[in-house]
Structure 1
Amino acid sequence: MKVLFLDIDGVLNSRRTLIAHNGLPHGFTPDDMGMFDHAAIGLVRDLCKHSGAVVVLSSAWRTHHLVEEVAVGLGLPVIDRTPSLAGNRGQEIAAWLAEHSAVMVYAIVDDNSDMLESQRAHFVQTSEEEGLSYRDYVALKRILSGEDAGYSHKALFWEEV
């Protein structure tokens, strides 16, 4: 199984979309849907379609929306969400992976850098200002195909800035 751990804020919407649409989405109503970056959603759909990856929500949205609601709202193959733990997002992803041994390949896309060092090669950090870029998409595609390691725009939390 291939899995894409997906954050939403800073990936499928951004400061750019906030300014352009005068707000951020909080759900999947028609008005909310207009505030998402539909090019970014399309890139994630393409990643899933061509790699065979399914999506696991690692976003804070997982605590306010049902998995099925996000799957239908965004048109993505969302199958689950990471647990909410008293730690960082990397620890939540590690806990989910520990419970799902069928995962052969995974990628993480997030604008926040709170991942574990062991997840570095699987991680692509987006820009909060711009959201998911084509460069991010290419890096995720390579990770999901087993070709290459990820990259980040900023230092990960264990590195000195």
Structure 2
Amino acid sequence: MAALEWSGALALDLPLMDETHEEFVELLAQVECSDDAQLLTRWQALVTHTEQHFGMEDRWMASTHFASGNCHSMQHKVVLQVMREGALRAAQGDLQALRMMAAELALWFPQHAQTMDAALALHLRRVGFDASTGVVNAPEALPGELVHGCGGAGCSPTPLARPVAA
């Protein structure tokens, strides 16, 4: 069984975000159950998905008045950087690094989804954001100033930022 499985606890009532998150969980599960021969290929698929996933959320934030340096976007950048570094290490033969990273992602993702992404989903609903078109249907509800935090009460740390032991 995968360390992380999709459940209603991860759903945020924003269909495109929920579909993307469910795909992330599925790809992570595929990484976890991979043998050594499949591991890097499946990790690369997860990285590609995550680049698109985080890019989509970052575009949503930018179009609804989140500052480009907010902690939610910064966490996306850090996690992606670490995932890419893991792929490089695996390409050099260090598959254990990816297995450790996958375990960390399974711990990190629910907290990220239930805090930062939940706050973003609430914000997007408040401003009437249509994820499929990118249209803000309630522009009067947009914040007057850029959102510099994560959109919630606080920002969570990024456990993947810890260096992986060599």
Fold match (TM-score > 0.5): no
Structure (1/2) with the larger strand percentage:
1
After TM superposition, the score normalised by the length of structure 2 is 0.30
